[in-house]
Amino acid sequence: MNKGTIASATAAKKIEALQKQISDLKKSEAFFRAITQNSSDIVIIVNTKARITYVNPSIERFMGYSPAELIGQSAFDYIDPSDLPRALFDFGRAILTRNTNIQNAFGVRHKDGSIRILEGIGINLLGNRSVRGFVMNVRDVTDRRKAEEELAAYRRQLEERVRQRTAELSSANERLTEELNQHLLTQRALAESEKKYRDFLEDAPIGVGIIDLEGKVQYINRRIETLMGWRREQILGRYGFGLDVFDDETRNKLLERFTARLDGDEPRHLEIPVTSGDGGQLWVEVITTILKKNDRPAGAQMVFVDVTKRRQAEEERSALADRLHRAEKMESLGTLAGGVAHDLNNVLGVLVGYTELLLMKMNDDDPLKKHLHSIMKSSEKATAIIQDMLTLARRGVTVSQVVHLNDVLVEYFTSPEFKRLCAYHPQVAIRKDLAADLLNIKGSPVHLGKAAMNLISNAVEAIADQGKVVIRTGNCYLEKPVSGYTDVKEGDYVCLTVQDSGRGIEPVDRKKIFEPFYTKKVMGRSGTGLGLAVVWGTVLDHQGYIEVKSEPGRGSEFTVYFPATRESRPSHESRMPLDSYLGSGESVLVVDDVPEQREIARRLLERLGYQVRSVSSGEEAIEHLQNHPADILLLDMLMDPGIDGLETYRRILQIAPGQKAVIVSGYSQTDRVREALRLGAGEYVRKPYLLETLGSAIRKTLS
C-alpha cells in the first residue's frame, strides 16, 4: 500500500469521525431548536440599537408579520405610540444599568392595523458571545394563544448545506483537505448554535421542563430550580406526575392534560398549585407542547409561569367585591329598618305618652295601675327593639361620651338578663378576664352594652352540652389589617373578645352572620335575628373593627376593636326634680304630621303648665307664626308631605329671627338634625319621649 493510499484512508477515517460529530451536534442542535420552535410564546432578540436580529415564527401567528418582515427592523416602530415613551425609557435604563431583566407589557401594532397587548419578559445577554442582544419571551395576553413553531426554513437550509458538503467529501480525494476544513467550520457553527439555544433555555425567565412518553423528567432549566426550590438531581429521571410538588388533584389534572395533548387536543393553559422546596405554595400556569421525532410524539415540553401575585390580586379583588355587595345589602336593609323604626316610634310615642298620663292620674291603690306598668314595661322592650333597628340603619348612636368598657360589662353581669342567661344554661361556665389597666373609649354605653350582651348570649347559646365562654378585655395596638378589612387605622384600641367552645360556624354561614334576620336559631325563641346585625352596626358607628375566627366543631371567637381615647370620664349629673322643668304659661307650637303625636304632645305639655297649639305641617307652622307668635316650637324633623323640620326652621328664622325650638324625631341625630341645632334650635329629643325628657328639653331651651 503506497503512502497516498494510506493518507487517503486516514483522511477518510477523519472525515467519518467528523461526520459522526456533526451528526451528534445536529441532533443536539435539533433537540434545542425543536424546543424553541415548539415554544408557545414569541421569542425575539434585539441588539443595543433595538434592531430585531432574531424572531421566531410564532410572531406571524399572533401579529401577522413574517420573521423576514421584522429582521433588521426597529422594534420601536411597532410599539403603540401611547406606550412608546415607557418602552424607550425601560430599554434605555436596561442598557445603561446593565439590568439583566426586562419585564413589561405594551401595545403592539398587528399587521392588519389593530393593536394587540403583548406581555414580555426579557433577559440581557449582551455579554453573551453567542447571543449579544436582549432575548425576550413574549406572549399575547389578549387571547393567550401559543406562538407557532419557528426557524423551519433555517433548519432545512442547514440540513441541505450538510448534505451538500458530505457529497462533496466523497467526490474526490484531492479535495479532502478543503472539505475537512469545511466540516470543522460546520462543527464550530453547530456547537455555537447548540450553546445559543442551551443558554436561552437555561437563562429564560420561565420554567421549562421536558418529559418523555413515560412521563419521566429528562430536562429542567435553571428557572425551575429557583421557582420551585428543587435541585435537578431531585427531579431528573423521576416520574414527573408523581413528584411531591403536586397534590393528588393537581397530579391527575396534569396527567389528563398530557394524555389529551398526545391524542391531538389543542394546547390550553392550566393553573395549578405547586409546593416549593421550603414547603410554601405558589401558583403556576402550565402550557404543554408535544415534542415530535420523525413526525411521531417523543415527549412533551412543559412551560411553567409564576402567576402567584396575579392570582392573589384576583382573590383580593373578589373579596373586595364580596364586601361591597354585603355593604350594599346591609345599607338597603338598614334603610328599610330605619323607615320601619321611624313609623313604629310614632305609634309607640302615643302609647307611652297616654300610659304615662294615666299613671299620673291614678291612685297608687288602683287595681288597673299594675296593668299600665305592664304596658310601660312592654313599651320599653319595644323601644329596645326599635333601637336595634336604628342601630342597623346606622342611625342609632346619639351619645359620644367617654366610656370604660369594663364598667359596661360589669353592669351587664349584674343585670337580670345576664342572670336569666346563666340560669337557662347552667352547663356553660363563664370566665371573665377584664384588664385592670383598660383604656377608655368614646361612644354610647347603651349601644355598647347591647352589643356586648348580644355577643355573650350568642356564645352561650352556641354551646349545646358542657362548655365554657371566656370574656376578655385588653389594650392593643393595631398596625396591620384585621381579617376582613383592607384599611385599618393604626393606633391604640380597646379589645373585647368573646370566645366559646360551641359548635362553631360553617364557612357557608360565616359571610351571612351579620345580616339582619339571618339566624340558625329557632325564630321567636332566641331573639329577633338582629343580634349580630346590631353588633355590626354598633362597631361601625364607633369606628371600630370586628374579627371572627371559627371552625365547625371547635368553637368561635369574636374580637371587637374600639379606638381608645385618653380623655377622662366626666362626673355624672344629678337628675332634675319635676319642679325644675314645669312651665309658667309659655306658648308652645307643636308641629307634627301625625295627629296622635300632636295630641299626646299637647296633653303632656299642658300637664307641665304650657299653653299649646298645634299644626300638621311646616307650611302651616310658617303661616300660623306670622299672626300668632310662640315662645318655643316643638318641631318634628320628618313630615310627609311637604317640607321637613330643617327647611321649616330655616324659613321661620327669616320671619322670626331667634325663634326658639326643640327638634323631635323617630331617628337619632342626622346631619339635618345637627344643621337645625347649628341654626339655633336648643335641644334634640328622640321619640318616643317621656314627660321628664320633653319637659327638661323645653325648659333648658327656654332658659
Q: Specify the pLDDT at position 242.
A: 53
What would you report as the CA-atom Rg of the chain, rounded to the nearest whole angstrom? 41
Place of cell 326634680: 577
- Average pLDDT score, the chain: 76
- Tens digits of residue pLDDT in 108-138: 899 998 888 888 877 877 777 776 788 888 8
pLDDT at position 568 is 75
Q: Give the model confidence (pLDDT) of 480-514 as tens digits.
A: 777 666 567 878 899 999 999 988 877 766 666 66
Condensed to tens digits (0 to 9), the pLDDT of residues 613-666 reads: 999 999 999 999 999 999 999 999 888 788 998 999 999 999 999 999 999 887
What CA–CA distance (Å, rounded) separates 518 from 382?
Answer: 20
Q: How many CA atoms lie within 13 A of 533 on its CB side?
A: 28
The single residue listed with the C-alpha cell 467528523 is: 18
CATH 3.30.565.10 region(s) of the chain?
397-565
Pairing of strands 401-403, 281-293: unpaired
Distance from chain centroid for Cα 621? 51
Helix 416-424 to helix 405-413 angle (10° resolution) is: 60
Per-residue confidence band for 566, with pLDDT thresholds at 50, 70 and 90: confident
Q: What is the pLDDT of residue 486?
A: 58
* 473 in Cβ contact with 403 (< 8 Å): no
List, by residue range, all CATH 3.40.50.2300 domains of the chain. 578-702
CA–CA separation, 170 and 34 (whole Å): 30
Count other C-beta atoms under 10 Å from residue 172's C-beta: 10
User: How much is the average pLDDT of 221-241?
Assistant: 70
Residues 6+ apart with CB under 8 A from 185: none
Of 639, 641, 628, give the one whose Cα is nearest residue 663.
Answer: 639
Report the CATH fold assignment for 397-565: Heat Shock Protein 90 (3.30.565)
Name the band, by pLDDT with cuts 50, 70 and 90, for residue 524.
very low
Say which residues have a Cβ less than 8 Å from residue 371's Cβ, sequence separation at least 6. Answer: none
CA atoms within 13 A on the CB side of 417: 15
> Kind and range of the H or E element at 177?
helix 176-203
Beta bridge partners of 402: 442
In sequence order, the β-bridge partners of residue 8 are none
What value does the mean pLDDT take over residues 360-372? 71
With 80 as the cut, is the pLDDT of residue 50 above it? yes
Using CA atoms, how far apart are residues 500 and 461, in angstroms rounded to an integer? 10
Stretch 191-214: mean pLDDT, rounded?
A: 66
User: Which of the listed CATH numbers 3.40.1260.10, 3.30.750.24, 3.20.20.70, 3.30.450.20 matches domain 206-306?
Assistant: 3.30.450.20
Read off the DSSP letter of residue 347.
H
CB atoms within 10 A of CB 544: 20
- Distance (Å, rounded) from C-alpha 432 to C-alpha 657? 56
| CATH code at 578-702 | 3.40.50.2300
CA–CA distances in Å: residue 292 to residues 138, 301, 608: 23, 10, 101
Helices of type H across 38-139 = 58-63, 67-70, 84-97
* Residue 635 and residue 606 in contact, taking contact as beta carbons nearer than 8 Å: no
Q: Say if residues 539 and 546 touch (Cβ distance below 8 Å).
A: yes
Most trustworthy range by pLDDT among 83-97, 277-291, 354-368, 597-611 = 597-611
Q: Tell me: the pLDDT tens digits for 251-290?
A: 677 777 667 766 666 666 677 777 666 666 777 777 777 7
Q: Looking at the domain that runs over 3-169, which CATH code has it been given?
A: 3.30.450.20
The predicted structure's pLDDT at residue 447? 80
For CATH 3.30.450.20, the residue range(s) in the chain are: 3-169, 206-306
